[in-house]
Structure 1
Amino acid sequence: MKSLDSSKDKYGLWTLAWPIFIEVFLQTLLGTVDTIMVSRISDDAVGVVGLAGQLFGALTTLFMTIAGGAGILIAQKLGSKRGEDARTIGIMGVTASTAIGAAISVLLAAQPAFFGRLLNLSDELLPLWNVYVSNIGGGLFLTAMIAALGTAVRNTGNTKAPMFTGIGMNALHIALNYLLIFGAFGFPEWGLFGVTVSGNISRLIAAAVLLYVFLYSFDRPIRLADFRVFDRKLFSEIFQIGWPLGVNMSGWVFSQLAIYAFLAMLGAQELAARTYMNTLESFCFMLGYAFALACQIRTAHLFGAARTKEAYSGAFRALYIGLAVVTGNALLLFAVGKQLLGFFTSDPAIVSMGVSLLALNLLLQPAKMLNMALGDALNAVGDTRFTMYIAIFSMSIIATGCSYWLGIHAGWGLIGIYCCMIADELVRGFLVLQRWRGRKYLLKAERTRQLETTEAALSV
């Protein structure tokens, strides 16, 4: 195992962040290209893809519970120079996540209509929904593999490999989309079904590439036989960190899913407008997200190495950089958002709805950055139950309950729902700020370190 000093640059904030940014940018580009190409089919198809994306996001939290907890522990164990433990944790994280993803895939492939009715999807959209969900959902185990493998590799400090894999996956997906949606160069014109074929092929190749990288990401190469390994104690550590993390993630995704269901109640135009705005907002926030995730990896590594003072100050540094970036991006989007919406749709009603949300986005993005940066820092040191508790409280009452009250009951529509989304992010952001400033887990780690040092000195 390399020494901590030799790996210092490897875990630098910018060193970690820029490949994550490129990766996230390409993922967002993938979603945007999908949206643009699908919009050439119909706005109804766009609404189906947007709603299905929320469903997939909700279900992926089931395997991200394991993958996320494993990723944090990998960085911590490597920071404390326990490479073999990190290797075992990575193997178990990938195996368990893939198994969960496979079970979800079977369910989605077999019963797509059940989920469509559960989400109040209209009968006229159901045929498109069944095509998209049964095929993309049937390949969700590939998403599980990519997520688990990418998280493990990223937390070893290697953020470049997932980035390059993302480049290849996106390039292939875009090319296949063009061929299979529109029937270019003699290929079959499959429309929305072509999107699903393209997505599954590109994900399969990406999963294979990341698996190869993962096998050589630790001091001792991983062999296929090693995937049978199971360490009860280490898996318990994964679960202790992971299950609150999973509840937190699922709470957010399910709140977004509920919001999309409310939008479906408002109508297809509102659903399409939110889908287009979600795409634009993703571009707005992606660099902030990269700094937040880099902060989590770096904080976990420093925490494992007992460098708590650096961990504390580093989180604020990531926050300040992220706030500057997302605020600037939100201002840019406010200035050119109307023109960008025109690339997606020519429906004036949908464009008008999107434009009305651009000013509110100036508040939403900084609030998201505050919540994510310091929330991820808390997760990195193992304080995942706190972020879970505040997520359950805020997202169930403010993000979901108030969205229905203002958006549907009071008749405020999209504006009311956005106001509630902003309030949710601000409440959680303020709470994680106060928790991080209290340094509970950092001080506990310092006391433990001092006690171990004292005991070691006395034993000599």
Structure 2
Amino acid sequence: MRREAGTWSLFSLTWPIFIETLLYMVMGNADTLMLSQYSDHAVAAVGVANQIIALTIVLFNFVALATAVLVAQYLGARREQEAIDVSLVSLAANLLFGLLLSAVLAVFSRPILRLMGLPAELFDEGSGYLSIVGGFLFIQALMMTVGAILKSYGFTRDTMYVTIGMNVLNIIGNYFLIFGSFGLPPLGAEGAAISTAASRLIGFAVLVALLRKRTGISLSLRSFRALPLHHLRSLLKIGVPSAGEHLSYNTAQMVITYLITWLGAEALTIRVYTQNIMMFVFLFGIAVSQGTQILVGHFVGAGRYEEAYRRCLKSLYSAIAISVLLATVAYWFAEPLLSLFTDDRSMIELGRKLLLLTIILEPGRSFNLVIISSLRAAGDVQFPVYMGILSMWGVGVTVAYVFGIALGLGLVGIWLSFIADEWLRGLLMLWRWRSRIWMKKTVAPQAKMA
């Protein structure tokens, strides 16, 4: 039922991931764009709430990341039953963990936003959005896990089609619920939250059906009665360090967001607008990194280390070239792009400066996206965590405070901190990959003997 890795090209795996990731970003941008027609305050409130949601997703994303690595390695070693067993264990683990974290966000949304220092005029909208979207994040946890399994089997188009449907439903829901169309009350940020949660629930139901059709994995109660829990150790061995790296990044971003709140609501808003445009710039790097991770995982599982080594570097060169091109295009069209969100001239001019700096930032980000994904696929997960923590906090947060706050450079200083962090980590990751130490880090013991 699975496809052979030897028949795949990076392009065949990557273009559906590209479209899928684009549409996920469109879902977030659709909320921002449609809310910007409702209220700038709603945009800023949702931006802060989404920082918390992103951090929470990291906490259960570690299971999905580990699942993708182990399933790819086992399939590369032609050990399909182990791949199925890992998939079931990961789904059960993420369901339990996702339910716990969803409950925390639903119950404690207001105290959490107080800790984030959200301005008083944004509090009600941010709280309503966080409690609804956060309360249903366990659905996102399961979707990410099922999506990781399907992609490791090579069925990247399936998750793309589901994402298309979710975006259509989300935009329709936003139209009805944000502005109160057809006699419904205008709900603003709360309406965007309801639409997001509902579209994700429907998307998950479709993914479950596709999982059974493509892989034969059923999510019936019978499938979970005798779980091979020994696979949980391997999942944790990969997942916990991977989560540590992502957790460190998102926590550092939350601290930087807190620093930006010192600059005022306008700075917070233009940061949200500019980063929404930047998401489209590093989209290609995200897609290439995920496609490369699938191929490297299969190559490592099959013991084809030299092919894995060359694949990562070829992907890296492509990601750097495209990221520079897209960042340049974004800067060239900065004014019309930013005008989609606001007509405030001072905000548009500041956004142009930030997009100019993005041309320098994005190549450094490409190093991290592609090489860290490849290291993870090979089972080398601890080095990116250690170096990431040192760089994100020792360079990223520190430079953000010194340049952005102490020296008064504002958001320009914040962007300089992003550049310094991404480039330092990226060059360290390149050294690690070229050292070939990762060739000794394969996690799945069966894969080594294949």
Same fold? TM cut 0.5: yes
State the alpha-carbon separation in 1 of the partners of residues 354 and 223 from structure 2: 51
Is the CA contact 2:177–2:191 (under 8 Å) kept in the aligned structure 1?
Answer: yes
The worse-fitting range, judged by mean Cα deviation, of 223-232 and 87-96 is 223-232
| Corresponding residue SS for 1:344 | coil
> For residues 126 and 312 of structure 1, do their structure 2 counterparts lie closer, same or farther at Cα, with a shift above 3 Å needed?
same
Matches for 1:27-426 after TM superposition, within 5 Å: 27-218=24-215, 221=218, 223-426=220-423
Identity across matched positions, percent: 34
State the alpha-carbon separation in 2 of the partners of residues 137 and 363 from structure 1: 34
| Corresponding residue SS for 1:306 | coil
Shift of 1:87: 0.5
Per-residue deviation, residues 6-35 of structure 1 (Å, max 9, x unmatched): 4422x4211110000000111111112111
Per-residue deviation, residues 437-460 of structure 1 (Å, max 9, x unmatched): 011122677xx99x969xxxxxxx
State the alpha-carbon separation in 2 of the partners of residues 250 and 104 from structure 1: 14
Per-residue deviation, residues 349-390 of structure 1 (Å, max 9, x unmatched): 221221111210001111100111111111110000011111
State the alpha-carbon separation in 2 of the partners of residues 404 and 119 from structure 1: 16
Which amino acid in the other structure matches residue 246 of structure 1? A
Shift of 1:401: 2.1
Is the CA contact 1:269–1:349 (under 8 Å) kept in the aligned structure 2?
Answer: no
Shift of 1:127: 1.1
Which amino acid in the other structure matches residue 358 of structure 1? L
Which amino acid in the other structure matches residue 142 of structure 1? I
Which amino acid in the other structure matches residue 176 of structure 1? G
State the alpha-carbon separation in 2 of the partners of residues 441 and 118 from structure 1: 40
Shift of 1:227: 2.5
- Report the TM-score when normalising by structure 1: 0.94
State the alpha-carbon separation in 2 of the partners of residues 111 and 156 from structure 1: 38
Per-residue deviation, residues 189-216 of structure 1 (Å, max 9, x unmatched): 2222211111111011011111122234
The worse-fitting range, judged by mean Cα deviation, of 400-409 and 199-208 is 400-409
State the alpha-carbon separation in 2 of the partners of residues 311 and 247 from structure 1: 24
Is the CA contact 2:38–2:179 (under 8 Å) kept in the aligned structure 1?
Answer: no
The answer for the alignment partner of 1:456 in structure 2 is none
| Corresponding residue SS for 2:160 | helix
Is the CA contact 2:42–2:188 (under 8 Å) kept in the aligned structure 1?
Answer: no
Per-residue deviation, residues 154-173 of structure 1 (Å, max 9, x unmatched): 11111111100000000000
| Corresponding residue SS for 1:46 | helix
Per-residue deviation, residues 133-153 of structure 1 (Å, max 9, x unmatched): 111111111111111111121
> For residues 221 and 96 of structure 1, do their structure 2 counterparts lie closer, same or farther at Cα, with a shift above 3 Å needed?
closer
State the alpha-carbon separation in 2 of the partners of residues 86 and 121 from structure 1: 44
Which amino acid in the other structure matches residue 6 of structure 2? K
Match of 2:437 among 433, 437, 440: 440
* Count of residue pairs the alignment pairs up: 448
Shift of 1:77: 0.5
| Corresponding residue SS for 1:411 | coil
State the alpha-carbon separation in 2 of the partners of residues 341 and 251 from structure 1: 30
Is the CA contact 1:215–1:223 (under 8 Å) kept in the aligned structure 2?
Answer: no
Shift of 1:220: 5.9
Per-residue deviation, residues 65-95 of structure 1 (Å, max 9, x unmatched): 1111111101010000111111111111112
Per-residue deviation, residues 204-237 of structure 1 (Å, max 9, x unmatched): 1011111122234435655432124432321101
State the alpha-carbon separation in 1 of the partners of residues 431 and 211 from structure 2: 37
| Corresponding residue SS for 2:155 | coil
Is the CA contact 2:380–2:441 (under 8 Å) kept in the aligned structure 1?
Answer: no
Shift of 1:300: 0.6
State the alpha-carbon separation in 1 of the partners of residues 77 and 281 from structure 2: 36
State the alpha-carbon separation in 2 of the partners of residues 20 and 243 from structure 1: 24
State the alpha-carbon separation in 2 of the partners of residues 105 and 73 from structure 1: 26
> For residues 58 and 190 of structure 1, do their structure 2 counterparts lie closer, same or farther at Cα, with a shift above 3 Å needed?
same
Matched, 1:26 2:35: no
Per-residue deviation, residues 89-148 of structure 1 (Å, max 9, x unmatched): 111111211211111111111111111111111122111111111111111111111111
Is the CA contact 1:89–1:234 (under 8 Å) kept in the aligned structure 2?
Answer: yes
Which amino acid in the other structure matches residue 425 of structure 1? E
The worse-fitting range, judged by mean Cα deviation, of 45-54 and 180-189 is 180-189
| Corresponding residue SS for 1:383 | coil
State the alpha-carbon separation in 2 of the partners of residues 186 and 19 from structure 1: 38
| Corresponding residue SS for 2:310 | helix
The worse-fitting range, judged by mean Cα deviation, of 220-229 and 425-434 is 220-229
State the alpha-carbon separation in 1 of the partners of residues 98 and 342 from structure 2: 34
State the alpha-carbon separation in 2 of the partners of residues 375 and 452 from structure 1: 25
Name structure 1 gaps, 5 residues minimum: 454-460
Is the CA contact 1:91–1:229 (under 8 Å) kept in the aligned structure 2?
Answer: no
Which amino acid in the other structure matches residue 295 of structure 1? T
Which amino acid in the other structure matches residue 17 of structure 1? T
Is the CA contact 2:89–2:229 (under 8 Å) kept in the aligned structure 1?
Answer: no
Name structure 2 gaps, 5 residues minimum: none
Root-mean-square deviation (CA, aligned residues, Å) is 1.9
State the alpha-carbon separation in 2 of the partners of residues 435 and 130 from structure 1: 42
